[in-house]
Amino acid sequence: MIKIFLFIVLWFSFSFSNESLNAQKQNTLYIHNLIEIEEKIASNFEKYLLTEFKIPTINDLITDEYLGSNFSLLNRMGDNIDFLDALNLKIKYAIRKNEFINAQDYTVLLYNRDLYRNYTTVSSEIADSKIDLSKSYVEFRLKSAEANTIYNILKAGNIIEKTCTATLVSKYCNNDKNSIRWYNASSNWIEYNKKDFNQGNITISSESIISSEILKLRDLKVGSYIFIKDKTKNVKLADDVSGNLQILKVN
């Protein structure tokens, strides 16, 4: 009888241990899947910026051109995957159900690591040994200088049209693969390189830009060349002692 009892105890212990190990493996695979979803969202956010010149919502990305129309945002550890704040490049912290948010739980530790992350990184805070969901999120980075230029223009409240026309007023537009333009109220434009933006050289449509768009030119890096279309080359100098914009014609 004692042998039978010991056998039953050992069998239950083994079964429980085996089930626990299987659950741990399943949760580990699930965390990898959550990270992969967040990585895909971040990379397609950048692709959308470079193509559409807008800040996307999560629904904007659920199309065949980006994540795919059948892409799933379901999450058994919390709410559906979504942006917390797309404008500030933040995704909701995915592990939200109470049984999973112990700060020392292996699922949380794995989720928070950067080991499987390329675009994303986790910012988390702890309160009473649990993840503070009100202060925790996943942030993501834009990889290309071009995407960062477009993002910073949009974040500042500006509009970027997908094509350039002379009817635009105080708006940016996509000129070609490498450049964007900004049009003023007189249909004159400033053309920027997407990669360098106001840290690089520019081309302007008319010499009148130099006197009419001082604030735009003031944002340029000292030493930048200002090419007037089909005419002269100028260079931006440091402001004079009175703070006035200084531009020198060099040919």
Residue 138 and residue 158: Cα distance in Å, rounded? 26
The predicted structure's pLDDT at residue 92: 98
pLDDT of residue 45: 99
State the average pLDDT over residues 189-208: 96
Q: How much of the chain exceeds pLDDT 70, in percent?
A: 91
| More confident of the two residues 18 and 174 | 174
pLDDT of 146 strictly over 50: yes
Identity at 47, one-letter amino acid code: K
pLDDT at residue 23, as a whole number: 64
Exposure b/e, 177-201, CB count within 10 A at least 16 = b: eebbbbbbeeebbbbbbbeebbeeb
Model confidence at 172: pLDDT above 60: yes
Sign of the Cα torsion 240, 244, 245, 250 reads: negative
59-98 confidence digits (pLDDT tens): 999 999 999 999 999 999 999 999 999 999 999 999 998 8
Arithmetic mean of pLDDT over the chain: 90
pLDDT on residue 60: 98
Res. 152 pLDDT band, cuts 50 70 90: very high
